[in-house]
Amino acid sequence: MRRLVSETRVHPAQLVLPLFVREDIAGEVPISSMPGVSQHDLDSLRRTAVAAAEAGVGGVMLFGIPEVRDAHGSQASDPEGILQVATRALVAEVGDALVVQTDLCLDEFTDHGHCGVLDANGAVNNDATLERYVEMALAQARAGSALLGLSGMMDGQTAAVREALDGAGFTDTALLAYSAKYASAFYGPFREAVDSQLQGDRRTYQLDPGNRREGMRETLIDLAEGADIVMVKPAMSYLDVLSDVAAASEVPVWAYQVSGEYAMIEAAAARGWIDRRRAIEESVTGIRRAGADAVLTYWATELAGWLR
């Protein structure tokens, strides 16, 4: 009876698995703050993506970790950079079974860890960063990425990338705008996952956690600039923003269950304080109930297996 009258359901195809591929490793390197999640070399990346596809997961989101970083994140747009190499590998391996997606941001590739190019005073130069994003977008599209995740929170990034892609003939490459991305404490474990070099914080270009209306305003701007999907990130602490966006958006709305959300549930479950499976299922159901059409979650493959 409960199944028959359930208002909110989660399907494996509504789940996206974030994956970390690193240039200078062999096999898998466990991420200590995210038990069960690893950095991958190309072989383990392929195996993990195949398992996700077999479980019916909807897509994978790739994050690249280069061996060499510099101030402009040069490896981010290099055709032979780790992210482009990994994208080609996964498109060949599982591209017919799920959507291969790529993160479009400079933070993993810069030696200062910020999401953009810095000016002489150490502040992020928005317009110079857009030029780099365009170069990255073209490199990722040429590598075969079906969807680019614009996570940098630069003003005008969606319009700049859409214009460049259309001009180069990549009219079918979709754009996921991280529209309401907040300056959150829950990104902590992710910094380890990508070996972040960040000093300081990103509060000058990510949103104030207290600002609900601003999340909606940023979303409307991305919709006007041509976003195919809009994102709220993190999920757990911003379900009100997610609900607002879902009520207003005419395109799909996604949410990212971020590293800190994952780590908290895993840590509490490891101590026997909560039921791990029930907590995972409830947390993702709550995100769907708030309005997310799809959820990026590190439990995507495991949860898909339970659902099937």
Please identify every residue annotated as catalytic.
Answer: 181, 233
How many C-beta atoms surround the C-beta of residue 20 within 10 A?
26
Residue 277, amino acid: R
- What are the CA-CA distances from residue 57 to residues 48, 50, 97, 216, 300 (Å)? 11, 10, 9, 28, 7
Residues in Cβ contact with 36 at an 8 Å cutoff, skipping those fewer than 6 apart: 266, 298
Residue 87: closest CA among 37, 34, 142: 142
Here the tokens at position 246 are: 């879902």
How many C-beta atoms surround the C-beta of residue 24 within 10 A?
13
Cis preceding linkage at 234, omega within 30: yes
Enclosing H/E stretch for 90: helix 82-94
Residue indicated by tokens 């391996």: 93
How many C-beta atoms surround the C-beta of residue 100 within 10 A?
26
Residues in Cβ contact with 122 at an 8 Å cutoff, skipping those fewer than 6 apart: none
Distance between CA atoms of residues 83 and 104, nearest Å: 10
DSSP label at residue 110: B
Distance between CA atoms of residues 60 and 16, nearest Å: 5
β pairing state of 294-296 and 147-150: unpaired
Cβ(105)–Cβ(115) under 8 Å? yes
